[in-house]
Amino acid sequence: MTATKNPIFCAIDTSDPAKAARLVAQVKDRVHGLKLGLEYFMANGAEGYRKLVPEGVPVFLDVKLHDIPNTVAGAVKSLATLKPTFITLHTSGGPAMMRAAADAASQSAQSFGSPRLKVLGVTVLTSLDKSDLAAVGQGGADVDVSAQVVKLAKLAKASGLDGVVCSPEEVKTLRAELGPDFELMVPGIRPIWAAANDQKRVLTPREAVDAGASWLVIGRPITGAKDPAEAAAKIAEELATA
């Protein structure tokens, strides 16, 4: 897909519901949507999700499911009641697990008469290098991490997933390999004026969109700014006008 004018999902990385609510109120009108991950969801659950998310605001719910197909299908159906726009699972769970998740998303949409939630795959965590992959048996010591990312992303597409989460350095290759309609959700984004924090390989919002990102996950450059609303607006403006 081509990136929309405002492709930002703001990462609300906290377990504190009051802090999360403050951030959401500050940024919700300046970004496309919110990213909620395990930190918030494990602490506050479905009830915390319902309390936090304003009506109509898209959510990328990054729960990284990984289990047998039947269990993952059940989890997708449970998550579908919250009506997130995107959820995630680990592609290393295999093609049957991915297919079960995609089918469960379609069935839930039919039974609720609501838009189908999109299922994104996590390929190789960016915290893993080739020795880590070899240690868990994903190829020998000479395994090429980026080849493994492409392999898992292609498997995700063939298994009915809507896209993958990928690092800035993978966007260009994955866009070329997977075509224009595959969703690429990209964290590791830093405007020129923001600190890199612990992100090692970053792209600016504009660079990421130009490389083929569908959506940008941006946390601390917005949530750690003195004025989060202003920071979010500044990034959105830079993207709209550059």
Q: Hey, is 1 helix, strand or coil? A: coil
Contacts with ligand C5P in 159-188 (CB under 6 A)? 167, 187-188
Nearer to ligand C5P by C-beta: 116 or 206? 206
C-alpha distance from residue 239 to each of 135, 169, 203, 213 (Å): 41, 19, 13, 12
Q: Hey, is 26 helix, strand or coil? A: helix
Query: Does 37 engage in binding with ligand C5P (CB under 6 A)?
Result: yes
Among candidates 64, 132, 117, which has minimal Cα distance to 92? 64
Query: Does 217 engage in binding with ligand C5P (CB under 6 A)?
Result: yes
Residue type, 10: C
Contacts with ligand C5P in 103-132 (CB under 6 A)? 126
Residue type, 63: V
Here's the x/- map for ligand C5P, 45-64, by CB under 6 A: it reads as --------------------
Query: Does 14 engage in binding with ligand C5P (CB under 6 A)?
Result: no
User: How far is residue 145's CA from residue 147's CA, in Å, rounded to a whole number?
Assistant: 5
Residue 157 catalytic? Answer: no
Nearer to ligand C5P by C-beta: 64 or 116? 64
Q: Quote the radius of gyration of the chain (alpha carbons, Å).
A: 17
- Are residues 174 and 166 in contact, defined by beta-carbon separation less than 8 angstroms? yes
**What sign has the CA pseudo-torsion 135, 73, 108, 27?**
negative
Closest separation in Å from C-beta 113 to ligand C5P: 31
- Using CB under 6 A, pick the residue from 11, 73, 75, 161 that binds ligand C5P: 11
Helix and strand numbers (H, E) in the chain are: 10, 8
Query: Does 78 engage in binding with ligand C5P (CB under 6 A)?
Result: no
* Catalytic residue (choose from 5, 19, 28, 64): 64
Nearer to ligand C5P by C-beta: 70 or 197? 197
Closest separation in Å from C-beta 228 to ligand C5P: 12
Residue type, 48: G
Query: Does 152 engage in binding with ligand C5P (CB under 6 A)?
Result: no
Among candidates 69, 9, 60, which has minimal Cα distance to 38? 60
Query: Does 13 engage in binding with ligand C5P (CB under 6 A)?
Result: yes
Stretch of 43-51, 108-116, 218-226, 232-240 contacting ligand C5P, by CB under 6 A? 218-226
User: How far is residue 123's CA from residue 139's CA, in Å, rounded to a whole number?
Assistant: 14
Give the footprint of ligand C5P on this chain (CB under 6 A). 11, 13, 35, 37, 126, 167, 187-188, 197, 199, 217-220
Catalytic residues, by residue number, are 64
